[in-house]
């Protein structure tokens, strides 16, 4: 690793910005968080904290989105058409690049978590890994051969449409763009809108547990069928519900019905890095920005 100074990272979430500095992605020296309020307030508070941490040589940002990742675009580094009030068009990468005068790496929050788990968590020994977070929204990132998958933009796994479970499953969904896509059916806000409580607060015998597991299992099956991914990591607040990941595994096996090649090599697991996957990913982005 060349250069001097610390790596800095931001996991930019819709509720809070998690900040960190470290000698490497896995040697974190200090962490802090600031609430996600108006952009000018949140960005300023984050920049002020970094200014007190000593010399910084590069910053990585793993941000909620959608975001612009095309380096040739004048909007690179911006949050685009997010439903988060006031944040559409925020030039988050440009702001910190100017304030800190350092190179900036930029990607989605789920891509950050995916590359962190691939390198330092559940991906050990695997060529491919998908990371899916299920919380306020649903998003996913994919790593193949050690590299994040990008294309026209970034993956939006939470906006796939999932089959319903029988004719009685008629909830219209809460996604403002698609209604009953996966995010509209299985995110935290969807669960609260449908059943009036979080999944963790609903009893284990409540129908919500089986139905949410079924929806998420459909996603896992789709990821396996389309990408042949070896490891699927499920994180986010909804997965804190007891027994949910085990239900997802069972449902995914039933949906596949013994068809997909290599199914015995595919695992559905929780994050090895816990709630640090995103910030470790941000520091990986910083390290890559420093080297490039």
21, 28 contact by CB (below 8 A): yes
What pLDDT score does 153 carry?
74
Decide: residue 222, CB within 10 A, 0-12 exposed, 13-18 middle, 19+ buried: middle
Share of the chain above pLDDT 70, in %: 99
**Token pair of 283 as six digits:** 């520091």
pLDDT band at 263 (very low <50, low <70, confident <90, very high): confident
Query: Closest by alpha carbon to 217, among 163, 137, 277, 271?
Result: 163
> Which residues, including other chains, have CB under 8 Å from residue 147's CB and lie 6 or more apart?
none
**Token pair of 98 as six digits:** 């100017």
**Token pair of 143 as six digits:** 């790593």
Provide mean pLDDT across the span 87-104.
97
- Whether the predicted model's global pTM rises above the 0.85 cut: yes
Provide mean pLDDT across the span 4-13.
95
**Token pair of 110 as six digits:** 């789920």
Decide: residue 16, CB within 10 A, 0-12 exposed, 13-18 middle, 19+ buried: middle
* DSSP code for 170: -
What pLDDT score does 42 carry?
98
Phi, psi of 73 (to 5 degrees): -85, 140
Q: Are strands 6-12 and 56-63 parallel, antiparallel or unpaired?
A: parallel
32, 47 contact by CB (below 8 A): no
2, 290 contact by CB (below 8 A): yes
Spatial distance between the Cα atoms of 217 and 91, rounded to a whole number of angstroms: 36
Q: What is the DSSP string of 245-290?
A: HHHHHHHHHHHHTT-STTGGG-EEE--TTGGGHHHHHHHHHHHHHH
pLDDT band at 1 (very low <50, low <70, confident <90, very high): very low
Spatial distance between the Cα atoms of 82 and 89, rounded to a whole number of angstroms: 9
286, 280 contact by CB (below 8 A): no
Cα diameter, the chain: 61
Per-residue pLDDT tens over the stretch 125-145: 899 999 999 998 999 999 999
């Amino acid at each position: 690793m060349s250069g001097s100074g610390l790596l800095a990272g931001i996991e930019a979430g819709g509720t809070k910005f998690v900040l960190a500095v470290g000698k490497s992605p896995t040697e974190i020296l200090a962490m802090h968080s600031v609430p996600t309020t108006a952009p000018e307030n949140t960005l300023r508070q984050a920049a002020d904290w970094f200014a007190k941490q000593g010399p910084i040589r590069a910053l990585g940002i793993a941000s909620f989105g959608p975001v612009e990742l095309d380096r040739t675009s004048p909007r690179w580094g911006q949050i685009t058409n997010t439903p988060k009030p006031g944040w559409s068009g925020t030039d988050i990468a440009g702001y910190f690049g100017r304030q800190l005068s350092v190179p900036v790496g930029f990607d989605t929050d789920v891509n950050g978590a995916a590359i962190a788990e691939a390198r330092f968590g559940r991906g050990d020994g695997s060529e491919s890994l998908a990371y899916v977070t299920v919380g306020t929204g649903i998003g996913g990132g994919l790593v193949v051969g050690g590299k994040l998958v990008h294309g026209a933009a970034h993956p939006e796994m939470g906006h796939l449409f999932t089959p319903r479970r029988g004719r009685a499953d008629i909830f219209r969904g809460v996604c403002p763009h698609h209604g009953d896509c996966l995010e509209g059916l299985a995110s935290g806000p969807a669960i609260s809108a449908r059943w009036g409580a979080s999944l963790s607060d609903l009893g284990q015998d409540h129908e919500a547990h089986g139905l949410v597991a079924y929806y998420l299992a459909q996603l896992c099956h789709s990821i396996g069928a389309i990408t042949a991914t070896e490891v699927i990591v499920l994180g986010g607040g909804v997965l804190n519900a007891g027994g949910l990941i085990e239900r997802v595994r069972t449902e995914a096996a039933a949906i596949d019905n013994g068809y997909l090649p290599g199914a015995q090599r595919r695992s559905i697991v929780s994050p090895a890095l816990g709630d640090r996957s995103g910030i470790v990913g941000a520091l990986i982005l910083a390290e890559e920005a420093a080297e490039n």
